Amino acid sequence: MNYYDYLNLSLELHLFFDRIMKEHSLFLELAFTEKENQTRQIAKKFQQAFNKLLQKSVEIAHGNITNNVIASGEFITPNTLIAEQQMNKYFECFIDTNLTKEEQRLNPGRLDIDRKIISDVTYINKEGLSLLKNFIKYQEEVLEQVLTCKIYTNAYPSFINHMLEEARLYDELLTGLFNGQFISKNNLYEQEIFWNHFMKEHALFIRGLLDPSENDSILLADKFAQEYQMIDNRYKGDFSKLTKASFNETLNFQDFNKKQEDLILSCKIKSMIMPLLSDHLLREANHYLRILNNR
């Protein structure tokens, strides 16, 4: 792989996944009771560490990232800041909104390859990989404790598992890049299976977190979950049909996620969905759409 691809793909991965990981850490912190203070504190430390890593990535990315990926809405959406402000209103979580404002000012530009940027990107890749290994281990331990009923959580165990799977995917992609492996066609097919599975689970989480009286949205969320399942069953093994069906489905799902977020942020729907979770889910749909678009 040439330097241009290595730097470009590394920065894109960090800007998307570091924020996802930082928010997963926050969701984990908020999922446990006061009694599990140690578990919460570890989650908080991860949140701070991913925040720092994202900050560094944003600094490096200024002027070095394509407009196409900024415009995809996978790093931040027009509502991310509002969602964070609402979180700070509801919880004692002190989200770093300055970093989000910094990202709003992220400039596109043609990547300039020099020694400094190569060493900076290699630094964040190394940092990211070691942080991820620890984060994966922590999530595995937490999940084990939840599944054996040693600790209580207000998050679905499947949601904790889902976050763990996303961390493993990030680890796999970053490790590949770090070792100079280009993302192959094979790998893209696997990513599609992965992301369809993630989208299906998002739909199921939304379904389960809506107030039982929100019938229309519940039925719609359930329909998306069923359709993603159907796409995988029907087109497994046929890459081009799978991509086409996944693209159409995710376009609709992106729209559903957008509408749900608008309703949540404007207090027009009853649910237990945290404002930042709804923005987070939309960003993942945006990210998946960009991958599908680039096929």
Residues that bind Fe ion (CB under 5 A): 198, 284
Closer to Fe ion by CB, 121 or 292: give it.
Answer: 292
* In the complex, least distance from residue 199 CB atom to Fe ion, rounded to whole angstroms: 8
How far apart are CB 172 and Fe ion at their closest, in Å? 15
Closest CA to 20 of 274, 284, 217: 284
Residue 230 CB partners (closer than 8 Å, separation 6+): none
**What dihedral do alpha carbons 142, 145, 151, 154 form, nearest 10°?**
50
Residue number with CB closer to Fe ion (198 or 228): 198
**Contact criterion met (CB below 8 Å) for 229 and 247:** no
Report yes or no: 288 and 250 within 8 Å, Cβ to Cβ: yes
Nearer to Fe ion by Cβ, of 18 and 284: the residue is 284
Quote the least distance from Cβ 285 to Fe ion, whole Å: 9
Residue closer to Fe ion (CB basis): 14 or 283: 283
**Distance of closest approach, residue 6 Cβ to Fe ion, in angstroms:** 26
Q: Which is nearer to Fe ion, 103 or 284 (CB)?
A: 284
Q: What SS3 class is residue 133?
A: helix
As a whole number of angstroms, the distance between CA 51 and CA 84 comes to 14
Separation of alpha carbons 231 and 233, rounded Å: 6
Long-range contacts of range 184-189, CB-CB < 8 Å, 24 or more positions apart? 185/239, 188/291, 188/295, 189/239, 189/242
Single-letter code of the amino acid located at 284: E
Produce one character per residue of 110-129: b if its CB has 16 or more CB atoms within 10 Å, e if not: ebeeeeebeebbeebbebbe
Q: Which is nearer to Fe ion, 103 or 201 (CB)?
A: 201
Closer residue to Fe ion (CB): 205 or 235: 205
To 10 degrees, what angle do helices 97-104 and 80-90 make? 170
CA distance 26 to 97: 14
CB of 81 to Fe ion, least distance (A): 21
Contact 275, 265 (CB under 8 A): yes
Q: What is the DSSP letter of 34?
A: G
CB of 195 to Fe ion, least distance (A): 9
Minimum CB separation of residue 166 from Fe ion in Å reads: 5
Smallest gap from Cβ 24 to Fe ion, in A, equals: 8
**What are the structure tokens assigned to 225, written together?**
């979950």
Question: 14 or 202: whose CB is closer to Fe ion?
Answer: 202
Q: How far apart are CA 251 and CA 230, in angstroms?
A: 16
